Amino acid sequence: MLILASRSPQRRAILEQIGVRFAVVESDAQEIETGDPAEVVVANALLKARAVAASRADGGASPDDLVLGADTAIAHAGEVIGKPADAEHAREVMRRLAGRDHHVLGGIAIVGPGRGERTACVSTMVRFRPLTAAEIDLYVATGEWQDRSGGYAIQQRGATLVERIEGDYLNIVGLSVVKLLRLAPELRGDN
């Protein structure tokens, strides 16, 4: 069975969509916030997966269990843009990204007893269209920016901010299915 080490409803929905059986065990791992953005998301995914795998090792985890850790960050101009702290910070992030490219980085880690650790990073380019102050205010008023890397949800009203993407759409939502199945092809049997 797959154990999802995440509280993300988007990751849950993606796994349900592709028919993978899974259970959720939230990770209490302390995430890192500084460093090369691609390395940070992979390290955080691995920290989450390792923490849950360790907590399950004492509780009779099955040798067939795999733990999936995932992390998402937005990188723009070499810097990580995290989750906005408040509405004004969300406006600032929107102004910074308006009319420009940024990369959504998805870190994935698979940990299994006796099966080692497998990791990957997926990068998807997103270009926001130019945005007026009124458009930014309208989006921020939706509240979708809360608890979201980069302050938007592309699968919801955040789609109105986007001019184009290059790469894996589901990576932007929260989990690259293509990369997950490459890392853990055994999950295809659950479909």
| pTM (whole model) above 0.85 | yes
Q: Kindly report the CATH number assigned to the domain that includes residue 35.
A: 3.90.950.10
**Given 28, 64, 65, 71, the catalytic residue:** 71
Q: Could you give the number of structural domains in the chain?
A: 1
pLDDT at 112: 86
pLDDT at 78: 84
In whole angstroms, give the CA distance from residue 183 to residue 109: 8
Active site residue 58: no
pLDDT at 59: 60
pLDDT at 178: 96
pLDDT at 65: 86
In tens digits, the chain (191 residues) has pLDDT values of 899 999 899 999 999 999 999 999 999 899 998 889 999 999 999 999 999 998 876 665 566 789 999 999 999 988 888 899 999 999 999 999 999 999 999 999 999 876 689 999 999 999 999 999 999 999 999 999 999 989 999 999 999 999 999 999 999 999 999 999 999 998 886 44
pLDDT at 189: 67
Q: What is the 3-state secondary structure (H, E, C) of 136-187?
A: HHHHHHHCCCCCCHHHCCCCCHHHHHEEEEECCHHHHHCCCHHHHHHHCHHH
pLDDT at 39: 94
Domain boundaries, position 102: 2-190
Residue 112 to residues 2, 61, 66, 106, Cα–Cα distance (Å): 9, 10, 5, 20
